[in-house]
Amino acid sequence: MDSLRAVDLLLVEDNPDDARFVDRLITEHQTALERSGRDAAVSIDSVEHVDRLSAAIERVESEPPDVVLLDLTLPDSAGLETIDRLVDRAPSVPIVVLTGHDEGELGVDAIRCGAQDYLVKGSITAELLLRTIGYAIERARTQRQLLDRNHRLALLNRLVRTDIRNDLSMVVGWGDQLRSGVDPRDEPALEALLEAATHTLELTDTAAELMDVLAADIDVEREPCDLVAVLETELDRLRQEFGDAVAVDRTALPDEPVVVSASPTLGSVFAQLLSNAAVHTDRSTASVTVALETTVDRTTVVVADDGVGISDSQKHLLSDPDARFDADSGMGTGLYLVTTVLDLLDGDLEITDNHPRGTTVSVTLDRVR
């Protein structure tokens, strides 16, 4: 945040002494900084004081301030409900709670209710106050940007999942009906058209899954997942999609559940890895082997194929946690989905050469016992 920005502050405090103390801290500190020539974390341009929550709500609805310092014990409201009521009327205005009790649990609960931070009245210093206000404003701005990003992703998601997918499905459907009546000379062009449309349809599914992951919170809510059941589901889908074009060896999968810490997005990881193993081959029938290797704390899924293999540079890119998807990276959308999901789940990805040919991909996840 720009340190020279002038901030409009609303102080909601029914104790006149506490209100005067806060105002004096701000005035004296900013005066001292001006005399010394130093910059403040934030510059308070104006302080408006009200002693009722109703007055604060009226103010934020008519002319929202840059930040609110909010006491939780007011004549017309008390406790965490005070935050709830103010956030409900002005969700984008950052709130710093003022409390007379040094209770860490209260501060955590205040932040969960929508406050950006909290200060204990008896230990407030001018520097701490201004720094906290500055951080609160910046955090609120960042949160608004994330909300805007997620909103745009949701709109794009709907466009991809509904509008584009529906039109592509119609292209594939009508094109398939043309097979019986097309001139034999035009059959190669029709098959190429259908192949491209079908591939694009598959890409819309991958893009939609990726947008779901990107729109989620960084701290993905995890839950116990039966890894064997996830793999069996994706292997069944692989067989339905490719039929006899892929031969899968799943004999190394255990019969009993293996529970890992994951999320519902885990299936998309193995859907991509299995599909890649089936597609990237120069054989009439791709051979894929799936196995589990389990230790006390972690479980590794090993997917091995006999396809065309992956270059060393591509292996390094896919195993690099700092790699990003762009036009020059050489990483496809599906593999970027894999690396993104595993990063959110604290999973490890290792890619090595299979012997005598092909690729072995290992995905390691934390067990739940």
Domain boundary among 147, 170, 188: 147
CATH number at residue 252: 3.30.565.10
Is residue 156 in a domain?
A: no
Residues 93 and 236 in one domain: no
Is residue 16 in a domain?
A: yes
Structural domain boundaries enclosing 353? 217-368
Is residue 28 in a domain?
A: yes
Domain boundary among 147, 173, 190: 147
Evaluate whether 17 touches 54 at the Cβ level (below 8 Å).
no
pLDDT at 220: 59
CA distance 71 to 11: 8
pLDDT per residue of the chain (369 residues) written in tens, 0 to 9: 444 467 899 999 999 999 999 999 888 887 877 777 666 667 888 899 999 999 999 999 999 999 999 999 999 999 899 999 999 998 889 999 988 766 667 778 888 899 999 998 888 888 888 889 989 998 888 888 777 776 666 667 777 777 778 888 888 888 888 888 888 888 888 888 888 888 777 777 767 776 776 665 544 578 899 999 999 999 998 998 889 999 999 999 999 999 999 987 788 899 889 988 998 899 999 999 999 999 999 999 999 999 998 877 777 766 665 554 444 444 566 777 788 788 888 899 999 999 999 999 999 999 997
Residues 225 and 362 in one domain: yes
CATH number at residue 87: 3.40.50.2300
CA distance 212 to 143: 18
Domain boundary among 130, 147, 164: 147
Per-residue b or e along 8-23, where b marks 16 or more CB atoms closer than 10 Å to that residue's CB: ebbbbbbeeebbeebb
pLDDT at 147: 74
Residues 143 and 240 in one domain: no
Residues 121 and 251 in one domain: no
How many domains are there within the chain? 2
Is residue 306 in a domain?
A: yes
Residues 99 and 231 in one domain: no
Find the angle CA(328)-CA(333)-CA(339) to the nearest 5 degrees.
95
Burial (0-12, 13-18, 19+ Cβ within 10 Å), 6: exposed
Place of tokens 């091995």: 304
The model's pTM is 0.50
Residues 273 and 359 in one domain: yes
Is residue 345 in a domain?
A: yes
Residues 136 and 227 in one domain: no
Residues 33 and 129 in one domain: yes
CA-nearest of 360, 244, 256 to 300 is 360
Residues 118 and 237 in one domain: no
Q: Is 40 helix (H, G, I), strand (E, B) or coil?
A: coil
DSSP assignment letter at 367: B
CB count in 10 Å sphere of residue 129: 21
DSSP assignment letter at 117: E
CB count in 10 Å sphere of residue 145: 10
Q: Which two tokens stand for residue 38?
A: 């130093």
Is residue 171 in a domain?
A: no
Residues 143 and 221 in one domain: no
Is residue 198 in a domain?
A: no
Residues 117 and 229 in one domain: no
Is residue 209 in a domain?
A: no
pLDDT at 4: 45
Residues 243 and 339 in one domain: yes
Place of tokens 């389990």: 294
